[in-house]
Amino acid sequence: MAHAYVTFRIRLARHALADFIASFKSSGEIVVLVFGQVLIGLFALIAMPPMAASALPFYQSIPLLLAHGMAMSLPLFLLRRRVLPRDVVLAMHPLPIPPRIALAADALVAGILAGPLALAYIVSAAIWMSQGPEWLQADRALPATVFSFLVTCGCSSAILHLRARGPRPGPRLRRLTTLALGEPWRGPRIAYLWHRLFWLPFWRGDNVIGHQQSALLLGAIASAVAWTMAPAGIMGGVLDLTASASLILLADRGDKAVREQLGVLRPIMAAWPLQRRALEMCARAFSLAPVALLLALLFGAGLWQHTAGHVYLTLAMLAPVLLVAIPRFNPRARVGLVVASIVILTAVGSEIWN
């Protein structure tokens, strides 16, 4: 009979996975509609790196397999806060849980969450084995894939084990706490409220909005710079799609995060003596700041010198404003607007360098 702690951890992981799938539903529809063919190609290629590495000499293949296995554990690293919320970690700290049971729970949860990856490996490996390319060594490819998967499970277990040990306040947390307790603020009152009610919560604790938007912004800037430098052709088209999608998703995710935060704050702010409408408009307008930075980069890269560039920049300014300005959004309508904006921007962008 399984230990109660192990059963609790498994149920918690299943709940976290179901909650993540539900929260990712709208974004998943956008990704599937826009990048559907690319995702199918990546799904078929997922087992190729370890199978190709197995054809190399032993001293070269082992580091590559280790690196691949560690890289494939990145999704669980991003999901660790959902799988083990901070409140649960703090509640488990004083419990007399044997180390052996704790390690077994971490390993089982890592194996459950890695199940879809194992299925993807099986399908991808079957595709490559049926194709039989010249570089494939069948007697070494499958063991190498299994080894990479075991490394992923081991890294995932280590991530969960470190997470379960509990949070430790670092310099950044102490700095944010000091700032929240009363450092003087010099600037407009509306900016002060936006900073305390939106900016800081997006970076504190287990909230990943700040990191998510930063990653999206860096990815959008990298793809935009590469797009402006790439020659016309297939690579230029892929970078055009990536830059356009990154721009719209940056606006969509930022506006969605602000709307969710407003839903939390409205009951609290109802009793405050402030202009709530002005604060809401300010917060939603500030969510477009990363988009404005990206558009300024594209403008400086010379898109405005082309007729198609004028249209692209106009649409790239109009679409994010529509996402933010429309008061209420049906989820399906929002997905439709996001997908239509990406498709139209990609189509216009393909004409800029031709």
pLDDT in tens, 215-224: 889 888 888 8
Contact 251, 287 (CB under 8 A): yes
CA distance 202 to 180: 14
| Residues 205 and 60 grouped into a single domain | no
User: Would the CA dihedral through 237, 241, 243, 244 be positive or negative?
Assistant: positive
The token pair at 71 is 């890289």
CA distance 5 to 11: 10
CA distance 205 to 200: 10
Q: What pLDDT sits at residue 150?
A: 93
| Residues 149 and 194 grouped into a single domain | no
CA distance 157 to 268: 40
CA distance 14 to 276: 39
Which class for 9: exposed (0-12), middle (13-18), buried (19 or more C-beta within 10 A)?
A: buried
Residue found under tokens 């970076």: 203
33 lies in a domain? yes
Q: How many CB atoms lie within 10 A of CB 99?
A: 8
CA distance 118 to 73: 12
The token pair at 227 is 């797009």
| Residues 136 and 15 grouped into a single domain | yes
CA distance 164 to 108: 14
Q: Helix, strand, coil % (nearest 5) of the chain?
A: 80, 0, 20
Q: What pLDDT sits at residue 206?
A: 67
Residues with Cβ within 8 Å of residue 212, at least 6 apart in sequence: 253
For the chain, how many structural domains are there in total?
2
pLDDT digits (tens, 9 = 90+) for 141-158: 889 999 999 999 999 999
Residue from 53, 27, 60 nearest 342 by CA: 27
Q: What radius of gyration, in Å, describes the C-alpha atoms of the chain?
A: 24
At CA 171, angle to CA 169 and CA 172, rounded to 5? 90
Q: What pLDDT sits at residue 284?
A: 85
| Residues 90 and 193 grouped into a single domain | no
Residue from 322, 120, 346 nearest 239 by CA: 346
Give me the domain span that covers residue 120.
4-168
| Residues 198 and 327 grouped into a single domain | yes
- The last residue of one of the domains, among 168, 201, 220, is 168
CA distance 229 to 267: 49
Q: What pLDDT sits at residue 28?
A: 59
| Residues 32 and 74 grouped into a single domain | yes
| Residues 97 and 11 grouped into a single domain | yes
Q: How many CB atoms lie within 10 A of CB 157?
A: 22
pTM over cut 0.85: no
| Residues 161 and 17 grouped into a single domain | yes
173 lies in a domain? no
Q: What pLDDT sits at residue 158?
A: 92
192 lies in a domain? yes
| Residues 30 and 124 grouped into a single domain | yes
| Residues 258 and 225 grouped into a single domain | yes
354 lies in a domain? no
CA distance 180 to 205: 13
| Residues 284 and 155 grouped into a single domain | no
CA distance 114 to 121: 11
CA 82 to chain centre: 13
| Residues 81 and 228 grouped into a single domain | no
- The last residue of one of the domains, among 106, 138, 168, is 168
Residues with Cβ within 8 Å of residue 313, at least 6 apart in sequence: 295, 298, 299, 303, 304
Q: What pLDDT sits at residue 170?
A: 47
**Under-70 pLDDT residues of the chain:** 1, 23-43, 166-188, 205-206, 232, 234, 304, 329, 353-354
CA 190 to chain centre: 30
Q: What pLDDT sits at residue 187?
A: 52
Q: What pLDDT sits at residue 33?
A: 61
